[in-house]
Amino acid sequence: MTLQVGIIGTGWFADKHAHLLSQQEGVKVTAIAASSQQKADQFASTFNDAKGYSNIEDMLDAGKLDAVYICTPPFAHGHFEQALIERNIPFLVEKPLSSEAELPMQLLQKIEAKQLITSVGYHFRYMDSADKAKQLLADRNIAMSLGYWMGGAPGGTWWRRQELSGGQFVEQTTHIVDLLRYLVGEVTEVYATYSEGILAKQDSNANVADAGTVTLKLSNGTIATISNTCIIPAGYESGLHVYTDAGKLEIGHGGLKDITTASTTEYHNQSNPYENEAKAFLHAIRTGDVSLIRSNYADAYRTHQVTMAANESASTGKVIKLG
Ligand SMILES: NC(=O)c1ccc[n+]([C@@H]2O[C@H](COP(=O)([O-])OP(=O)(O)OC[C@H]3O[C@@H](n4cnc5c(N)ncnc54)[C@H](O)[C@@H]3O)[C@@H](O)[C@H]2O)c1
């Protein structure tokens, strides 16, 4: 059976997912929904037999879709998920779940009531290095973790606006928070400080923080700091370092470095994490077996809570405790 998949959005990541999907056996991208008919038609024309729609209702009314990918910015969520939940259509939604704190909880309750298959684009979990890190950490004692996402602020219309993107910690560094949760443990306390003023001077449209440092307590007794900045023009880096009684484990985009007293060993990712993520989701749709999905909506919601708590702590100066 060929799976028919719809895509919402026509931006950078819609393009990445749609082309990856169209290369999978037994999968067809058949419908594209965008904020304008012209954008939808233009994007749809790059696939055989795909049709463009200017709104999701028309797309869903037009014919049966087995799954939908939601690839819209953080502010453009809620309506799409709601329509898919009502029609029992499984979806993969890109991180973060929202720029708002409350919306994902309302959606999660409806998803759980229907036991709908969902997946969230936390692709770091599907890296070979994440598997290797899990294996190495299994018999090591972790004391602390140090995460970072140091880079520049993407341009465009929404990323630099706090109310549209949620800011860097919610939009981007969320990957590192999620990796910390996946490899080390659940977060119970969050304290954050942010700095601002540099980006806003360069770009009068920008109102996101320049940098942040977030201190985290985990339920297993370990501690972490995750810092980020979006104002550096050079020296980009991101990753998670885990400090244990065996040494230091450095996990980055490309792989992992394991530093112990005996040796320093590097592992390079071989597989494409986005493809692994897609295959896990497609397998779940075909078989009902969700065990290969590493981040579903419920799990991603916990990551969302941590990043939202960081924003709240930075604005109130208080420590935020999570249940
Ligand atoms: N997992 C990853 O590695 C990764 C990488 C990049 C982006 N992302 C995530 O993907 C999401 C999209 O990012 P992007 O870089 O593709 O952004 P983008 O700005 O390139 O594209 C966003 C798309 O959403 C569409 N859109 C906005 N509002 C809409 C609405 N109301 N209805 C229909 N379409 C609407 C825009 O027209 C555009 O086509 C973001 O949440 C981002 O964080 C994830």
Does residue 17 contact residue 71 with C-beta atoms inside 8 Å?
Answer: yes
Å from CA of 73 to ligand 1 middle: 4
Please check whether residues 177 and 256 belong to one and the same domain. Answer: yes
Does residue 119 contact residue 296 with C-beta atoms inside 8 Å?
Answer: yes
Please check whether residues 43 and 79 belong to one and the same domain. Answer: yes
* Ligand 1 atom 36, closest CA: 9
Please check whether residues 266 and 131 belong to one and the same domain. Answer: yes
Å from CA of 74 to ligand 1 middle: 8
Which residue from 46, 56, 80, 94 has its CB within 8 A of the most atoms of ligand 1, so it is best to mutate? 94
Does residue 63 contact residue 4 with C-beta atoms inside 8 Å?
Answer: yes
* Ligand 1 atom 7, closest CA: 13
Å from CA of 120 to ligand 1 middle: 14
Averaged confidence pLDDT in the chain: 97
Site residues for ligand 1, CB cut-off 6 Å:
8-14, 34-35, 71-74, 76, 94-95, 121, 123, 156, 171
* Ligand 1 atom 9, closest CA: 94
Q: Provide the pLDDT for residue 151.
A: 98
Please check whether residues 61 and 158 belong to one and the same domain. Answer: no
Q: Provide the pLDDT for residue 156.
A: 87
Å from CA of 242 to ligand 1 middle: 31
Please check whether residues 263 and 131 belong to one and the same domain. Answer: yes
Which residue from 8, 13, 123 has its CB within 8 A of the most atoms of ligand 1, so it is best to mutate? 13
Q: Is the pLDDT of residue 1 over 90?
A: no
Please check whether residues 77 and 113 belong to one and the same domain. Answer: yes
Å from CA of 151 to ligand 1 middle: 19
Question: Which amino acid is located at 70 in the chain?
Answer: I
Q: Provide the pLDDT for residue 222.
A: 98
**For the chain, what is the domain count?**
2
What is the per-residue pLDDT across 4-38, written as a single tens digit (0 to 9) for each? 999 999 999 999 999 999 999 999 999 999 999 99
Q: Kindly report the CATH number assigned to the domain that includes residue 31.
A: 3.40.50.720
Does residue 225 contact residue 149 with C-beta atoms inside 8 Å?
Answer: no
Å from CA of 9 to ligand 1 middle: 6
E runs forming strands in 65-141: 67-70, 91-93, 118-120
Which atom, in ligand 1's list, is nearest to the CA of 74?
A: 41
Does residue 182 contact residue 224 with C-beta atoms inside 8 Å?
Answer: no
What is the per-residue pLDDT across 177-208, written as a single tens digit (0 to 9) for each? 999 999 999 999 999 999 999 999 999 999 99
Please check whether residues 173 and 60 belong to one and the same domain. Answer: no
Give the lowest-confidence range in 61-65, 114-118, 267-271.
61-65
Please check whether residues 131 and 253 belong to one and the same domain. Answer: yes
CA distances from 215 to 81, 300, 320 (A): 32, 20, 11
CA distances from 46 to 19, 30, 73, 286, 298 (A): 9, 11, 22, 25, 34
Percent of the residues in the chain that have a pLDDT greater than 70, as a whole number: 100
What is the per-residue pLDDT across 95-125, written as a single tens digit (0 to 9) for each? 999 999 999 999 999 999 999 999 999 999 9
* Ligand 1 atom 28, closest CA: 76
Does residue 239 contact residue 147 with C-beta atoms inside 8 Å?
Answer: yes
Å from CA of 136 to ligand 1 middle: 35
Which atom, in ligand 1's list, is nearest to the CA of 13?
A: 16
Which atom, in ligand 1's list, is nearest to the CA of 158?
A: 19
Å from CA of 166 to ligand 1 middle: 14
CA distances from 225 to 137, 150, 189, 240, 314 (A): 18, 14, 11, 10, 14
Q: Provide the pLDDT for residue 292.
A: 98
Mean pLDDT of 291-301: 98
Q: What is the pTM of this model?
A: 0.98
176 Cβ neighbours under 8 A, 6+ residues apart: 124, 147, 148, 149, 226, 238, 239, 240
What is the per-residue pLDDT across 76-99, written as a single tens digit (0 to 9) for each? 999 999 999 999 999 999 999 999
Q: Is the pLDDT of residue 170 over 90?
A: yes
Å from CA of 230 to ligand 1 middle: 19
Percent of the residues in the chain that have a pLDDT greater than 90, as a whole number: 98
Task: Specify the residue for token string 């990541």.
Answer: 13
Please check whether residues 211 and 280 belong to one and the same domain. Answer: no
Q: Is the pLDDT of residue 323 over 90?
A: no
Provide the residue range defining the domain that includes 309.
125-271+304-321
Please check whether residues 12 and 140 belong to one and the same domain. Answer: no
Distance of alpha carbon 172 from alpha carbon 177, whole angstroms: 10
E runs forming strands in the chain: 3-8, 27-33, 51-53, 67-70, 91-93, 118-120, 142-150, 187-195, 211-218, 223-229, 237-244, 247-251, 255-260, 264-268, 320-321
Q: Which residues pair with 191 in a beta bridge?
A: 215
* Ligand 1 atom 38, closest CA: 11
Query: Which helix (H) or strand (E) covers residue 114, if one does?
Result: helix 103-114
Which residue from 58, 71, 158 has its CB within 8 A of the most atoms of ligand 1, so it is best to mutate? 71
Please check whether residues 90 and 192 belong to one and the same domain. Answer: no
What is the Cα 80 distance to its own chain's centre?
A: 17
Please check whether residues 172 and 72 belong to one and the same domain. Answer: no
Distance of alpha carbon 250 from alpha carbon 79, whole angstroms: 39
Distance of alpha carbon 119 from alpha carbon 126, whole angstroms: 12
